Amino acid sequence: MNWVAIGTINDIPLRGARCVKTPQGKIGVFRTAENEVYAIEDHCPHKGGPLTQGIVHGASVTCPLHNWVISLETGKALGADEGAVRTIPIRNIDGQLSIALESILVAAE
C-alpha cells in the first residue's frame, strides 16, 4: 500500500474535519473526541454534501445539507437512510497522518 503523508493530527480540530484534495475528488479526514482519525470521501451519498463541513459526534458525522448521519468507520449512512461513501485507509504514527492512495498513484505513474 502506498502511504501518502497529509499532515499531522493537530492540523484537525478535535471533533472536526479537514479535506484533502486528490485527483479523484476530495477526501475528508476526521478527528473524533477520542483522537481517532478516519478518512472517507468528502461527498455525502445523498446529495453530495461536503461531509467535512458537518458536525462530528462519536465516530460519525452529520452532513450539513440534509442531516444524514454517516459512520466514519464504515462509510455507511446510519439510521433509516441507505447509502455509503468509500472509506480510505488512514494511518496515524505519532500524530503523523498518511492515507493510502494506491489506485491514484498507480494511475499517475
Partner 1 sequence: MAEKLVIIGNGMAPGRMLEELFERAPGLYDVTIFNAEPRVNYDRIMLSPVLSGEKAYEDIVIHDDAWYAAHGVTLHKGAKVTEIDRQAKTVTSANGITVSYDKLVIATGSLPFIIPVPGHQLPGVLAYRDLDDVEKMLEIAKGKGRAIVIGAGLLGLEAAYGMKRQGMEVTVIHLMPTIMERQLDPAAAYLLEKALAERGIEIITKANTKQILGSNRVEGIELEDGRVISGDMVIMAVGIRPASQLAKDAGLAVNRGIVVDDSMMTSDASIYSLGECAEHRGVCYGLVAPLYESARVLADRLIGGNAEYQGSVVNTKLKVTGINLFSAGDFAEAPDREEIVLRDASAGVYKRLVLKDNRIIGAVLYGETSDGSWFFDLLKKQTDISAMRETLIFGQSYQGGSQLDPMAAVAALPDDAEICGCNGVCKGKITGAITGKGLTTLDGVRAHTKASASCGNCTGLVEQLMSLTLGDAYNPAAVTPMCTCTELGHDDVRRLIKAKGLKTIPAVMQELEWKTSCGCAKCRPALNYYLVSDWPDEYADDYQSRFINERVHANIQKDGTYSVVPRMWGGVTNSSELRAIADVVDKFEIPMVKVTGGQRIDLLGIEKEDLPAVWADLGKAGFVSGQAYAKGLRTVKTCVGSDWCRFGTQDSTGLGIRLEKFMWGSWTPAKLKLAVSGCPRNCAEATCKDIGVICVDSGFEIHFAGAAGLDIKGTDILGQVKTEDEALEHIVALTQMYREQGRYLERIYKWAKRIGHDEIRRQIMEDHDKRRAYYERFVFSQKFAQVDPWSERVSGKDKHEFKPMATVGFSAAAE
Give the residues lining the site for partner 1 (CB under 8 A): 4-7, 11-16, 18-24, 26, 29, 32-34, 47-50, 53-59, 62, 64-65, 67, 69, 73, 99, 101, 104-105, 108-109
| Burial of 50 from C-beta contacts in 10 A (0-12 / 13-18 / 19+) | middle
Name the residue nearer to partner 1 (CB basis): 14 or 83.
Answer: 14
Identify which of 45, 18, 13 has the alpha carbon closest to the alpha carbon of residue 32. 13
Identify which of 33, 35, 48 has the alpha carbon closest to the alpha carbon of residue 85. 48
Smallest distance, partner 1 to C-beta of residue 16, A: 5
Amino acid (one-letter) located at 69 = V
Smallest distance, partner 1 to C-beta of residue 82, A: 18
Smallest distance, partner 1 to C-beta of residue 27, A: 9
